Amino acid sequence: MADSLFVDITTPNGRQYQQPTGLFINNEFRPSSSGQTIVSLDPATDKPIATVHAATAEDVDAAVQAAKAALSHSTWKLLPATERGQLMGRLADLMEENRELFAAIDAWDNGKPYQVALTEDLTEAITTIRYYSGWADKTFGQTISTTPQKFAYTIRQPIGVVGQIIPWNYPLSMATWKLGPALACGNTVVIKAAEQTPLSILVLATLIKKAGFPPGVVNIINGYGKEAGAALVQHPLVDKIAFTGSTATAREIMKMAAGTLKNITLETGGKSPLIVYPDADLEQAVKWSHFGIMSNKGEICTATSRIFVHRSILTTFLEKFKEAIETTSKIGDQWDENTYQGPQVTRAQYERVLAYIETAKQEGATLVTGGKPYTPKDEKNAKGYFIEPTVFTDVTDDMRICKEEVFGPVVVILPFDSEEESVRRANDTTYGLGAAVFTTDLERAHRVAADIEAGMVWINSSQDCDPRIPFGGVKQSGIGRELGEAGLEAYSQVKAVHVNMGSRL
């Protein structure tokens, strides 16, 4: 039982703060109606960080009712769009002021290195809110002439109450990807964080109130997917669901959303290919392909986890890839400045990754390096969820390690002989999120980028992501786009108003 709505916490890197633990509804924290809780664990030490309240269906209803009331309340509905943008700008400023605190919480809760959280996650989170603050007063309709007597105009309106469900791999920045466009378009929101990383979003809640958002505009809850998540998806007053997480859960969400024919946006998993052609700059290809799967401990939906290398350069590429692991992938806890790879987010995720490694061995893949838990040197991290960066070769396209998303520091490296073969095999997947192409042949780069079935393609790079650029998948990697101008589509709808000026004729 979380016995208080705030607890005093000192992070391992010495930051003292008050961690809210309640459900943020109508700009106030409240306890869960049933008293049920979620315990957040430090993945490096397996020790609890804090216990937070977990929402029941009744609590979800309270949050949705608050969002519904705020939608039609004049303080939000009649707020000029420019002022809506200013509120968001203020929120971005407050996040900036708390950058170090947010980075410490997300590093602690998720297991990523503090420096990465500070410089990458927080930059992305703050920039996303700032970027969308600028869009708030720039979403216009059109005027369309039809006959001399008639014309029509369109207005772009919010969708209404938006339910948002986020994962644990980039806790705060995933929240901002969802909140930014939803608020810019004038919706109200109930957002549910992942049970693995419940903490930073509650601190964000305090800043939402401080920035001046009216009560009920942003409601933030923690809760279990099958209970709170499902209640949100099925709630009749929720007009839209935006989800990021596994393809299996997305499938459940689609089914549940069908009951009320809800608008949905889904960003799910991937098994993204990275293709290295013989004319590629090999140093660059190795650098980015290592980053594309080993950064963030491989817990990246767009991880380039299938590396196709032209047979003529396979041996050299493999040697250099192993070297990159040895020189770069230093494993350690979140607070060691040298750490590149922290612990997996939870014991469940750690066991899932290790199980995939065992399956790959049983299926006959050759283990090149890694393939087992990593034992940290520091005694305090002895129970941490660390896994060695792992590379498999001699993998066939039908092996599970080549088909299924592992979501860990595990990669398969596959030879190919022709461009046609590389594209055909890269596309031989139910997923279609990211893809990377390494070549110095300009024509080939753009030809392959066009032919690959993916929502995003990187030429001579991997994992580039920017709030201005649309993000999303094709096939079973998702529906709809986040970020960029395209992200506004997911949170606004067009109304056509027909005008008849012909009454005097």
Taking residue 176's Cβ as centre, other Cβ atoms within 10 Å add up to 28
- If the CB atoms of residues 109 and 405 are measured against ligand NAD, the closer one turns out to be 405
Q: How many residues bind ligand NAD (CB under 6 A)?
A: 25
- If the CB atoms of residues 3 and 351 are measured against ligand NAD, the closer one turns out to be 351
Which residue in 405, 410, 422, 434 binds ligand NAD (CB under 6 A)?
405
Rounded (5°) CA angle 125-213-465? 15
252: contact with ligand NAD by CB under 6 A: yes
Which residue in 164, 173, 249, 272 binds ligand NAD (CB under 6 A)?
249
- If the CB atoms of residues 11 and 249 are measured against ligand NAD, the closer one turns out to be 249
67: contact with ligand NAD by CB under 6 A: no
From the list 113, 88, 101, 106, the residue with the least C-alpha distance to 169 is 106
Nearest approach, Cβ of 270 to ligand NAD (angstroms)?
7
From the list 59, 68, 17, the residue with the least C-alpha distance to 38 is 59
Nearest approach, Cβ of 176 to ligand NAD (angstroms)?
14
Distance CA 470, CA 465 (A): 9
Stretch binding ligand NAD (CB under 6 A), from 62-70, 113-121, 162-170, 388-396: 162-170
234: contact with ligand NAD by CB under 6 A: no
Determine which one of 124, 195, 267, 405 is catalytic.
Answer: 267
Distance CA 27, CA 47 (A): 31
Task: List the interface residues with ligand NAD, window 281-300 (CB under 6 A).
Answer: none
239: contact with ligand NAD by CB under 6 A: no
| 307 in Cβ contact with 413 (< 8 Å) | yes
Which residue in 29, 177, 385, 407 binds ligand NAD (CB under 6 A)?
407
20: contact with ligand NAD by CB under 6 A: no
- Tokens 């990697």 found at: 477
| 370 in Cβ contact with 322 (< 8 Å) | no
Residues 6 or more apart whose Cβ sits within 8 Å of residue 499? 150, 151, 152, 153
Rounded (5°) CA angle 440-447-471? 95
- If the CB atoms of residues 268 and 289 are measured against ligand NAD, the closer one turns out to be 268
Q: What's the per-residue H, E or C state across 368-412?
A: EECCCECCCCCHHHCCCCCECCEEEECCCCCCHHHHCCCCCCEEE
Distance CA 233, CA 210 (A): 29
Residues 6 or more apart whose Cβ sits within 8 Å of residue 212? 87, 90
Site string for ligand NAD, 408-447 (x = CB under 6 A): ----------------------------------------
- If the CB atoms of residues 233 and 456 are measured against ligand NAD, the closer one turns out to be 233
38: contact with ligand NAD by CB under 6 A: no
For residue 328, the one-letter residue type is T
253: contact with ligand NAD by CB under 6 A: yes
244: contact with ligand NAD by CB under 6 A: yes
- If the CB atoms of residues 85 and 472 are measured against ligand NAD, the closer one turns out to be 472
267: contact with ligand NAD by CB under 6 A: yes
- If the CB atoms of residues 177 and 291 are measured against ligand NAD, the closer one turns out to be 177
**Both structure tokens of 405:** 């998303």
DSSP string, 446-497: HHHHHHS-SSEEEES-S----TTS-B--SGGGEES-BSTTHHHHTTEEEEEE
Sort strands 434-438 and 456-459 into parallel, antiparallel or unpaired: parallel
Q: What's the per-residue H, E or C state across 167-216?
A: CCCCHHHHHHHHHHHHHHCCCEEEEECCCCCCCHHHHHHHHHHHHCCCCC
Which residue in 2, 129, 165, 280 binds ligand NAD (CB under 6 A)?
165
Across 80-116, b (16+ Cβ under 10 Å) vs e yields eeeebbbbbbbbbbbbeebbebbbbbbbbbbbbbbbb
Nearest approach, Cβ of 412 to ligand NAD (angstroms)?
16
Nearest approach, Cβ of 372 to ligand NAD (angstroms)?
19
- If the CB atoms of residues 340 and 407 are measured against ligand NAD, the closer one turns out to be 407
Which residue in 49, 54, 208, 233 binds ligand NAD (CB under 6 A)?
233
Residue 100 designated active-site? no
Element (H, E) at 103: helix 99-110
Stretch binding ligand NAD (CB under 6 A), from 21-29, 181-189, 224-232, 386-394: 224-232
DSSP 298: G
- If the CB atoms of residues 194 and 410 are measured against ligand NAD, the closer one turns out to be 194
Distance CA 312, CA 314 (A): 6
Site string for ligand NAD, 176-215 (x = CB under 6 A): ----------------x-xx--------------------
- Judged by the rule CB under 6 A, the positions of this chain that interact with ligand NAD are 165-169, 192, 194-195, 225-226, 229-230, 233, 244-246, 249, 252-253, 267-269, 301, 405, 407
Q: Which are the catalytic amino acids?
A: 267
